Amino acid sequence: MIVLTVLVAAVYAAVLIPFKAIPIVPGITELRIAQVLPPVASLLFGPAAAWGIAIGNLIGDLFGTFGPGSAFGFLGNFFLGAMPYMLWGRLGPLSAHQEPAMANRRQVLEFIIVTAVSGIACAFAIAWGLELLGLFPFTVLGLLIAMNNVILPGAVGWIVLRLLYRRVKRWGLIWTELMEPEEVGNQPTASVAAWLCAVATLAGWALCLALSVGAGGKFGDAGLQAGTGGAMNVVLAGAPFLAAILLSFVLGSPRTDLGQQGGERAA
């Protein structure tokens, strides 16, 4: 697992860095072709991808955009790498209940759903954090990061996964095969946790977005002015939903340690 974490982090950072020159919100986010990797890596490597994506993003920040938002970038990118494998197969009728080989439409649909939820969770965490610090309005970042995380990865990520899945499986590196069955986390609470995670993500993001643009009141005034940063209503409204996402990780117990004890293979 540790090696896969290293490789995912290094590849993610290596694809992020050259595109730093094309910023969307300078200093905060840029055009990210690398966003195709998190859902793909997550479904291939599970917990290794969660840490790898978070570390890779931090390394990418160190090459020119490390700043106040980097801590929230770490958390958001951890969500981005952890949620797809945590949600896969646990969303009841929305799930294909098959391995993510992208062999049929149901699998592709589930891929798009988990990519969208994880991408929005990442946007939610980063935009909430920067609103807390008073640097950027939730309205701008909440939307831009979500679009960056969802559109391109949702549209083409499944093709990349389809090209890689069989090969990686042949190499014996799929996370569910590397870990012991009890470590994969198929406990009864996992499905509840997955739904809690998805609902808290979508509801929290939508509520903060609505508050940020001044829903229920003066659109222009309360909106972009609240968005000059530190809008307390957005920060307070978002906090319980972020707490619920973190709680879902505890309930679902997706394994997130890097696992070097118990004789587990370093890969």
Partner 1 sequence: MDVYLYVEGNSPLHRLDPRPKMLLVVGLIFLAVAAEHPLVPGALLGLVLAAAQVAGAWPALRRVRTILLTIGGFSTVAWALLARGTTPLLGPVTVESLLYGLGTGLKLVATIAGSVVFLATTKNEELAAGLIRLGLPYPVAFAFSTALRLVPTFVGTGATIIQAQKSRGLDVESGHLLERMRKHIPLVVPIFAGAIRSANRLAMALESKGFGARPRRTYYLELRMGPGDWAAVAVAALMFLGFLLIRLTGWGEIPGLHR
Considering only residues 79 through 98, tell me which ones interact with partner 1, judged by CB under 8 A.
Answer: none
DSSP-derived 3-state class of residue 217: coil
- 137, 185, 204, 238: which one binds partner 1 (CB under 8 A): 137
Residue span 210-229 as binding mask against partner 1, x where in contact by CB under 8 A, dash where not: -----------x--xxxxxx
Q: Which residues contact 222 (CB under 8 A, 6 or more apart)?
A: 214
- Where does this chain touch partner 1 (CB under 8 A) — which range of 27-35, 75-83, 182-190, 201-209? 27-35
| 8 Å CB contact between 142 and 119 | no
Least Cβ distance, residue 87 to partner 1 (angstroms): 22
- Hey, what are 255's tokens? 């394994």
| 8 Å CB contact between 193 and 251 | yes
Least Cβ distance, residue 31 to partner 1 (angstroms): 7
Size of the site for partner 1 (CB under 8 A): 71
Residue 21 near partner 1 by CB under 8 A:
yes
39-78 binders of partner 1 (CB under 8 A): 40-41, 51-52, 55-56, 58-59, 62-68
User: Between 194 and 214, whose beta carbon lies closer to partner 1?
Assistant: 214
- 94, 103, 112, 133: which one binds partner 1 (CB under 8 A): 133
| 8 Å CB contact between 188 and 117 | no
Beta-sheet strands, E only, within 4-59: 23-25, 29-30
- Hey, what are 11's tokens? 């590849």
The H or E element containing residue 98 is none
User: Between 160 and 244, whose beta carbon lies closer to partner 1?
Assistant: 160
| 8 Å CB contact between 125 and 216 | no
152-181 binders of partner 1 (CB under 8 A): 152, 156, 159-160, 163-164, 167-168, 171, 173
User: Between 101 and 192, whose beta carbon lies closer to partner 1?
Assistant: 101
User: Between 123 and 141, whose beta carbon lies closer to partner 1?
Assistant: 141
Minimal CA–CA distance to 9: which of 45, 125, 20? 45
DSSP-derived 3-state class of residue 169: helix
